[in-house]
Chain A
């Protein structure tokens, strides 16, 4: 019960702080339209039939990119939010106050980005809805397909959180890690087929792309929402990765906090 109270307190806190920056909220929502328009016109350059046939989906390049962008927006937040929150707590002076409470460091770090993850999921949903309403994205709305997409999304969230907590652990020790998060997001976007199919990559990179769990999550969500065939082994691999990586990341974060306690750098930024 106490855990639920703590998680709810973090969500309420971040919602209120976020709502106190109203203009940023409005502008962020406004960027969705322009972002999608960019990919809509870009997709006019790609042969629809040929692309759909090669990618195990029923839609065109715009549909492919829209689903990729939706998931990437969650990945970006999932990966950067944990470390960004820790960094904010460090620079605003609240990190030590948090670490002096009876709440465990692992619960603090996991709860700290929960609101951002929920918000980014809502943002991704709005992105897809905008793509459907204004740009003709055709999603498979069969309940079974939506359920598979939702399950894959949960697996992706677990995976993103594990990477995000690992970066947050680095933030506790090294302080400035925004570039690290940016590098991981860019690397994953490049190798996982967010903007383009992985089969255009050199063969060696295709092999790397094939063993990245984010690729499995993206392929599963795309297949479920765009009428393709879902590979259940990839979905299982996604959950297996998240189940292993998330506890490892939490242990890493706890270890980082312990090291900062030892070096006396918990309150430094």
Chain B
């Protein structure tokens, strides 16, 4: 099965060129970290992949489906965690939230009940499953968002700064879970983050976006956070020349 293929993607919001010709691939089963300074275009890119924003030009396919021509098929192939923790119904329980979104994903009530229970247990939410989401902590809501993304067992996952609101322990659990999902071959993952330690800890590959372009594309294997930080800073600074850097050229020894 195909992963994600993006070619020459551009997007402009009025006077802001959010994406200026982004191309990259995410292979099935691969975990790719998307880094970049604020305003680099990470969230816009994830939303284009998730079909909630339309690109101005370029092509994007997810699991072989075009995000414009076959958006419904793309959404069936994706689990997304793009919005913030508010994106749940706070007056409903965690379980009811998952049942609702399972129905929208086309699952039967029986499938929804069994998959929901399994994910709630897997993510440590089983005891709080029948409490209102409004009573959850930020960490619990983030785990609920992850459960929602995993509901229909999609082959690809998109996360926008998934550990932003989590304490270090909750963030570590979250990363372990994402790593497990990828290790077991359950899904490929593309996640945006500002946490360089997180990026090198769980990803196979790093993409750095800067000023709407891919400024660095690098395998993450064996790359420490310090080395990534140097490469990241160099890549972002050299982006003015619109050249794609590699870790070898970007890192100062």
Spell out A's residues near B (CB within 8 Å). Answer: 2, 5-6, 8-10, 12-13, 16-17, 20-21, 92-94, 96-104, 108, 258, 261-264, 266-267
- B50 partner residues in chain A, CB cutoff 8 A: 100
Closest to B109 in A: A5
Taking the nearest CB of chain A, how far is it from the CB of B50, in angstroms?
5
A9 pairs with B54, CB closer than 8 A: no
Using CB atoms, name the residue of chain A closest to B44.
A264
* Mask of B25-54 contacts with A, CB within 8 angstroms, 1/0: 000000000000000000010010011111
Contact A94–B88 (Cβ < 8 Å): yes
Asked if B91 CB lies within 8 Å of chain A CBs, one says yes
Specify the chain B residue showing the minimal Cβ separation from A19.
B91
B51 touches which one: A9, A94, A97, A261 (CB < 8 A)? A261
Given contacts A16-B96, A264-B47, contact A101 B89 (CB under 8 A): no
- Contact yes or no, A264 B53, CB < 8 A: yes
**Complex A-B: 7 CB contacts under 8 Å:** A8-B103, A17-B91, A92-B90, A94-B86, A97-B148, A100-B52, A101-B75
Question: A9 and B87: CB pair below 8 A?
Answer: no
| Given A102-B76, A267-B83, A9-B88 contact (CB < 8 Å) | no
Chain B positions within 8 Å of A267 at CB level: 47, 52, 83
Instruction: Given contacts A92-B89, A262-B54, list 12 more A-B pairs with CB under 8 A.
Output: A9-B103, A10-B100, A20-B92, A92-B87, A92-B90, A94-B89, A99-B52, A101-B105, A102-B72, A102-B105, A261-B51, A266-B53
Min CB distance, B131 to chain A, in Å? 13
Q: Which 10 A-B pairs have the closest CB atoms?
A: A93-B86, A9-B103, A101-B104, A97-B87, A93-B87, A103-B104, A102-B75, A20-B91, A261-B54, A102-B76
A6 to chain B, nearest CB (A): 6
Q: Are A13 and B104 in contact (CB under 8 A)?
A: no
- Interface size in chain B (residues, C-beta < 8 A): 38
In-complex Cβ contact of A98 among B91, B96, B104, B108 (8 A):
B104
**Complex Cα distance A102/B132, Å?**
25
Q: Report the minimum CB–CB distance from A264 to chain B (whole Å).
A: 5
Interface assignment of B84: CB less than 8 Å from any CB of chain A: yes
Asked whether B75 lies within 8 Å of A100 as measured between CB atoms, the reply is yes
User: Is B136 at the interface (CB under 8 A from chain A)?
Assistant: no
Q: How far is the CA of A108 from the CA of B92 in the complex (A)?
A: 18
The distance in angstroms between the C-alpha atoms of A12 and B93, with both chains bound, is: 13
Q: How far is the CB of B53 from chain A (nearest CB, A)?
A: 5
B106 at the interface (CB under 8 A from A): yes
User: Hey, which bits of chain B sit against chain A, CB under 8 A?
Assistant: 11, 13, 18, 44, 47, 50-54, 72-73, 75-76, 78, 80, 82-84, 86-92, 96, 99-101, 103-106, 108-109, 132, 148
Q: Which listed residue (A2, A10, A263, A266) contacts B106, Cβ 8 A?
A: A2
A96 and B100: CB pair below 8 A? no
Q: In the bound complex, what is the Cα–Cα distance between A217 and B101 (angstroms)?
A: 37
The smallest beta-carbon distance between B110 and chain A, in angstroms, is 11
With both beta carbons as reference points, the residue of chain B lying nearest to A259 in the complex is identified as B54
Query: CB-CB < 8 A to B108: which residues of A?
Result: 5
Residues of chain A lying within 8 A (CB to CB) of residue B90: 92
Query: What is the bound-complex CA distance between A10 and B101, given in angstroms?
Result: 10
Q: How far is the CB of B17 from chain A (nearest CB, A)?
A: 13
A262 CB to nearest B CB, Å: 5
A93 touches B84 (CB 8 A): yes
Across the interface, A9 reaches (CB within 8 A) one of B18, B83, B104, B132, namely B104
* Interface hub of B47, B73, B87 (most chain A Cβ within 10 A): B87
Contact check: which of B82, B84, B100 meets A100 at CB < 8 Å? B82
Contact B103 A97 (CB under 8 A): no
Closest chain-A Cβ to B13's Cβ sits at a distance in Å of 6
Query: A104 to nearest B CB, angstroms?
Result: 7
For A267, give the chain B residue with the smallest CB separation: B83
In whole angstroms, what is the CA distance A262 to B35 when docked? 24
Q: Is the CB of B13 within 8 A of A16?
A: no
A261 with B104, Cβ < 8 A, contacts A17-B92, A97-B83, A102-B72 known: no
Picked from B76, B92, B101, the residue with its CB within 8 Å of the CB of A97 is B101
CB neighbours (8 Å) of B11 from chain A are 264
Are B54 and A258 within 8 A (Cβ)?
yes
Are B54 and A13 neighbours in the complex by a CB distance under 8 Å?
Answer: no
| Closest partner residue, chain B, to A107 (CB atom) | B104
